[in-house]
Structure formats: C-alpha cells, structure tokens
C-alpha cells in the first residue's frame, strides 16, 4: 500500500477507484519541478483496491500509528475496510498520547531499535473497531480540507488557519521561504504539515497576492525567498 497523507485534501472518493478527486488534489500539490512525478491516479486506485480485497487475503492486520491525524486516519480506514469481516485488527501505538507540536511522535520518528521495543501488538476490541470505522466514514463525508487529531477525536477545518500561520511566519522583507515553512511546521498541532503541502499553500497565497515569492522554482522551494504583502 502506498503512502497518502490522509490529514489533508478531500477524502470523498479515496476508497473508490479511480479516486479522481483525491488524485486531482495531489496533482495540484506536487511541485512541477520535482521529478519523477508519482502516478497519483494509479497509486491511489491501487490502494483502494488493495484495501477492498484485504479481508479476503489476510487473517489479521497490524497497524502501527502515532499521534498525527494521518496515522490515526489510516487506522480508521483499515478498520472500516475490515468491517464485517473475520479478519483480526491489531495495533502498535507509537505515539506519546499528546498530538501537540513538540510532544507528538510519528512512527517514522523512532529508530529501528525503538520500533523493535514497541512491537507489542494487541487486538482492538470489536466496539472500538466499530467506533473508528464510523469515524472514518464521517471524515470521508466531511467537506473539510484539513483534519487534526486532538484529544482522541478528529477536528476539521479549511485552509484559512494554516494559510494565516504561513502569512504570519513570512517576513515583510524577503527572507527564506523554507524558514517560514519551518516556523509553521514547528507550531502545527494535530497533524504534520509537510514541506510539499506548505509549499503548495505558499504558491496559492502568492497567486492570491498575499505572499510574493522570489527566485527560480526549478531549483526547489529551498532556494526561494518570500515576503508578506499588504
């Protein structure tokens, strides 16, 4: 199964190949200058089909997850895919239980040695499986663009909060875009705002005349300068 940041973008058709709306979102987010470009439509459709067939191919599934919305949504997505099947669902929690920036942990933030120590999978009860499966369907039906994981629940919002944070982090005179993005990442609770996602939002804000970008994008966002516009 591929890696899809489920915390951002539409989820309405993520489980229904060809996942056209989901693929179109990632086509917009992905920078033109970054190659090779993933085959989003094919990859997302493959994920959806793989999950649909999972109950008939596996007697048990183990999901590793941390404190971010994307990993919690993956757990919920798998629970929904297994709903009504005899396939067992197990989990390996790798987080701290605190989704605030500076406190949370993702699976990838652990060393291989630490992950080996954490590998104590335990079964998820039928009632909890049902609850997280319902949560997945609720998020897929939600119109929100961003999902945060806070106090054990998903909270949705549009792009305005993250955009405002990016504008606030940008200087009045030109400075590194990467620095402004890092500022937003360091204070983003509930989900991990990735560099490509924030770079996309910066481009959208530039198109809306809220930010100005300076430099050659072919070299990548790390060589771009940004300033806040009035």
Q: What is the 3-state secondary structure (H, E, C) of the chain?
A: CCCCCCCECCCCCCCCCCCHHHHHHHHHHCCCCCCCCCCHHHHHHHHHHHHHHHHHHCCEEEEEECCCHHHHHHHHHHHHHHCCCCCEEEEEECCCCCCCCCCCCCHHHCCHHHHHHHCCCEECCHHHHHHHHHHHHHHHHCCCCEEEEECCEEEEECCHHHHHHHHHHCCCCCEEHHHHHHHHHHCCCCCCCCHHHHHHHHHHHHHCCCEEEECCHHHCHHHCEEEECC
Full-model pTM? 0.95
Mean pLDDT of 57-83: 96
pLDDT of residue 1: 57
Which residue is listed with tokens 């806040």? Answer: 228
CA distance readout (Å), 77 to 42, 46, 103, 112: 19, 15, 25, 25
pLDDT given at position 217: 85
What local confidence, expressed as pLDDT, does residue 230 receive? 77
Average pLDDT estimate for 183-194: 97
Tokens (6 digits) for 127: 């009632």
Question: Where residue 91 falls among pLDDT bands split at 50, 70, 90?
Answer: very high
What is the average pLDDT across 35-49?
Answer: 95
pLDDT at 3 > cutoff 90: no
Q: Distance between CA 87 and CA 180 in Å, rounded? A: 45
42: closest CA among 70, 81, 2?
Answer: 2
Residue 223 pLDDT grade (very low, low, confident, very high; cuts 50, 70, 90):
very high
Mean pLDDT computed over every residue of the chain: 96
């Amino acid at each position: 199964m591929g890696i899809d940041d489920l915390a951002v973008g539409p989820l309405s058709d993520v489980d229904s190949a060809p996942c056209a709306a989901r693929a179109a979102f990632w086509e917009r987010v992905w920078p033109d200058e970054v190659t090779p470009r993933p085959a989003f439509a094919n990859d997302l459709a493959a994920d959806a089909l793989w999950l649909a067939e999972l109950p008939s191919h596996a007697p048990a599934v183990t999901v590793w997850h941390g404190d971010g919305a994307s990993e919690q949504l993956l757990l919920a997505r798998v629970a929904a895919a297994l709903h009504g099947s005899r396939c067992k669902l197990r989990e390996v929690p790798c987080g701290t239980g605190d989704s605030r920036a500076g406190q949370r942990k993702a699976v990838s933030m652990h060393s291989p040695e630490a992950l080996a120590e954490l590998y104590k999978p335990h079964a998820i009860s039928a009632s909890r499986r049902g609850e997280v499966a319902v949560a997945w369907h609720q998020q897929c039906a939600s119109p929100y663009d961003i999902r945060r994981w806070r106090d054990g629940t998903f909270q949705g919002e549009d792009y305005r909060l993250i955009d405002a944070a990016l504008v606030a982090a940008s200087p009045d005179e030109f400075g590194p875009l990467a620095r402004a993005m890092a500022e937003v990442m360091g204070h983003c609770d509930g989900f991990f705002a990735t560099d490509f996602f924030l770079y996309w939002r910066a481009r959208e804000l530039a198109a809306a005349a809220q930010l100005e970008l300076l430099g050659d994008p072919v070299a990548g966002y790390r060589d771009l300068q940004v300033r806040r516009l009035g």
